[in-house]
Amino acid sequence: MNNHAPQFAIVSLLIALSSACFDNTNAVCSPACGMGEVCDPETVECVPAIVGKFEGELPGSSAQLVESDGRVFFGAADEGQILVGELFEDGHDTQILATSTRRTRLRIDANESRIAAVWLDPQNQFVLATRRFSERTWRFESVRGSYEGSQEFDIALASGRLHVLFQDDDRTLKRVWRDDISTPDGTWTLETVDDRSHDSTLRACTPPPGPLARGVGAAPSVVAGATSVLVAYLDRDCGDLRFARLGETTWTIDIVDKGGASGQDGRIGAHISMARSSAGEIGIAYHDEGLAALKFAVLTEGGFAAEIVDPGLEIDGLARESKSVVGLFPSLAFSPGNQPSIAYLDGTRARLRLATEAGSEWTLSTIATDGPVGWWAQMLFAGENQVVGSARFVSSEAGIKPLWEAQWR
């Protein structure tokens, strides 16, 4: 007898734990805190941000990896601490950049000479911290502007220019950016990327009216170069995966995938990862919520071509078929040979999976099972190493905590 029903208990745990990571309830100081300051929730006063050494096991909640010249850098926001450091096969060198008054998302990126970290302050404005690799001192900067930031954001650092793409409070996708973050002073520019004004030329649905609309710009994944900015993101009203590309002065918007099986509309989940190969190929790994599957789309001359990488179907020794919810927390990277690999969570079985393409075929494997493991999966190539990591939930005196673990392959 075939069993297609997913085991939703672990998936429900995933949703609850992921949602609990970000809390918009926070103290607000007036006037707003300056650079290198945070608002203390008890006194509602601005206090200096903390920069210190972090010891012990790294947290896995909303963790991120980036690579620069073979070096691997780690970032996470956990229990009010903003953590950034360098990851090694046998340990880490991590600093506490600040204590935050809220549970917040942290995003990091690096270029050839420096690392950048961005998070939200209590006034829903972004904070930027940067450090040159040759120094130990961090420089803090408040990204002030007429916007209302959200936890739905991603960053990209390219040629000294920093881009922050985010869903604003008005439920549109916006970009705030600055030309050269190596200098302490500079002008931040704010612009709208997608406010649905392009919908008349797309196969977009008709969103619900007024306050029922959830908007565009959720779960953005950004890739930038010296002259290009690309972002993949979710249309929460229609369930579509969208893609925006910046030309010389204007943005071009397209729909990558409407989700579901061929010939019918579905829904893309809020788990998206975009990457560019050294040959310039653009790929997007994402979770199809309607199919509960992992998908991969590649940009061609005629637009995006999408395929199912892992449908989540398995047959056991008794020839019984089972269905898993797969493709959650995908992390896409291209190998030095420009072959795509995707690390992701099997939410039904709570295990970390890896998909690797060779030619036109995908090889699927399970690389961690002693779980629950696989949350906030991250994967990249650093020199000759493929580094794959995720959060594993472990029991402690304080309760169940997500701790970071990585494999150097």
Supply the pLDDT for residue 50: 59
Q: In angstroms, rounded to a whole number, what is the distance separating the alpha carbons of residues 373 and 183?
A: 41
Query: Is residue 254 in some structural domain?
Result: yes
Contact 115, 131 (CB under 8 A): yes
Contact 239, 250 (CB under 8 A): no
Q: How many domains does the chain have?
A: 1
Displacement of CA 390 from its chain's centroid (Å): 13
Residue 265, CA distances (Å) to 262, 285, 299, 403 in order: 8, 18, 21, 37
The pLDDT of residue 294: 97
pLDDT at 23: 43
Residue 75 domain flag: no
Q: Is 333 within a domain?
A: no
On whether residue 241 sits in a domain, the answer given is yes
Nearest to 45 by CA among 63, 57, 32, 64: 32
Residue 162 lies in a domain: yes
Is 182 among the domain residues? yes
Rg (CA), the chain: 21
Residues 70-123: tens digit of each pLDDT: 999 999 998 778 999 999 999 999 999 988 656 789 999 999 999 999 999 888
pLDDT of residue 25: 40
Q: Which domain holds residue 158?
A: 150-258
Rounded-to-integer distance, Cα 46 and Cα 30, Å: 9
Maximum Cα–Cα distance across the chain? 67
Distance CA 107, CA 74 (A): 10
For residue 350, being part of any structural domain is answered with no
Starting at the edge strand that comes first in sequence, how are the strands of the sheet with 52-54 ordered?
A: 52-54, 91-99, 81-88, 71-78, 64-68
87 found inside a domain? no
Instruction: Read off the pLDDT of residues 239-255 as tens digits, 9 standing for 90 and up.
Output: 999 999 998 889 999 99
Antiparallel, parallel or unpaired: β 216-224 and 189-194:
unpaired
Lookup result for tokens 């099986």: 261
Question: In the chain, which residues have pLDDT < 70?
Answer: 1-29, 32-42, 47-50, 100-102, 261-265
